[in-house]
Amino acid sequence: MQFSAILLVFAAVATIQVAAQDRCKRSIQYCKSFDPDTGESTNVEYDHCIQYCCGGTVYNRDLNMVCCGNKVVGVPQNTSTQVCCGYNNQFVVHDKTGGDLCCGLAVFNNTNSDLACCNPNDETVINIFTEMCCNGVVSFAGDTAYTACCGDVAYDRRVASCPCQNGVVSGIPEVYADCCYSADHTVQTPYNKVNESCCDGVNYVTASQFCCGNEIGESATQACCGDVITDAVGSVSTGGLACCVASDGSVAAYSPDSQ
């Protein structure tokens, strides 16, 4: 009985060895090593099952050891104690401190989960609760729950806006804001939709003004007659103005309530 148990152990060990050999049958690979003194590269043969190539150097495999980078550019990394940061085909390892955040080649302690990279490719971080990253520029925002970017500046949507998306912040709350464009889009003016309207790139007050053709007129003393702003003749009442075409073809604005 004891002899049978020993045979079973030997058989199990043999099976494991055969399996390991099968896994590593074609494990020979090449690591291109660069010599800075000669400026030449040579292919170094290594056994992938027990070694690895990292940054042009062959290392023996060990528990938790991996390559931070690749075969050509990289450094060994112990995944249990180090974090790997990479940027622009450059790689560095840092000792873990907890909550590690890589931005570019630098590492930051993000234990409170309140940091983010302004740009993953550089070493600038922001506080996600108080700052915005606008076009790669850190901008203080107060409460980021209510903020957005306008060009490289942050603004509070409750009291400001960026309706024309041209990098200019307007003092109109975002919910009421719109952009007034000229016909050729060369003029862009923010306006408040609640009490203003748009006239070829210029905002005007709807309660007291009007758009006639491409110009703004005053409702109290003028009227739009044939796309031309026309001044009223005589006294003007509060009932609004109308246009009168004379027999000679001339046009005048008048007050229907009094004329």
pLDDT higher at 178 or 39: 178
Confidence of residue 13 (pLDDT cuts 50, 70, 90): very low
Confidence bin at 224 (pLDDT 50/70/90): confident
Judged against a pLDDT cut of 50, whether residue 47 lies above it is answered with yes
Give φ, ψ of 169 to 5 degrees: -85, 135
The residue ranking higher by pLDDT, 13 or 225, is 225
Predicted local confidence at residue 256, as pLDDT: 60
Whole-angstrom distance, CA of residue 182 vs CA of residue 167: 18
Taking 70 as the threshold, does the pLDDT of residue 123 lie above it?
A: yes
How is the chain split into domains, by residue range? 129-207, 208-259
Predicted local distance difference test score (pLDDT) of residue 216: 95
Q: Specify which residues 155 forms β-bridges with.
A: 148
Cα(23)–Cα(37) distance, integer angstroms: 38
pTM for this model (two decimals) = 0.68
Separation between Cα atoms, residue 142 and residue 187, nearest integer Å: 31
Cβ neighbors of 65 (< 8 A, separation 6 or more) are 52, 59, 76, 77, 78, 79
Average pLDDT, the chain: 85
pLDDT band per the 50, 70, 90 thresholds, residue 191 = very high
Say whether 176 sits in a helix, a strand or coil.
Answer: helix
Digit-coded pLDDT (tens) for 201-213 = 999 999 999 999 8
155-162: average pLDDT: 96
Q: Give the CA dihedral 125, 129, 135, 138, nearest 10 degrees.
A: -50
List all residues 6 or more positions away from 38 whose beta carbon is below 8 Å from its beta carbon.
Answer: none
- Between 37 and 11, the more confident residue is 37
**């450059």: which residue's tokens?**
90
The pLDDT of 192-220, averaged and rounded, is: 94
Q: What is the mean pLDDT of residues 81-105?
A: 93
Question: pLDDT tens digits, residue range 125-146?
Answer: 999 999 999 999 999 988 999 9
- Percent residues over pLDDT 90 in the chain: 63
Say what the pLDDT of residue 4 is: 53
Give the largest Cα separation in the chain, rounded: 130
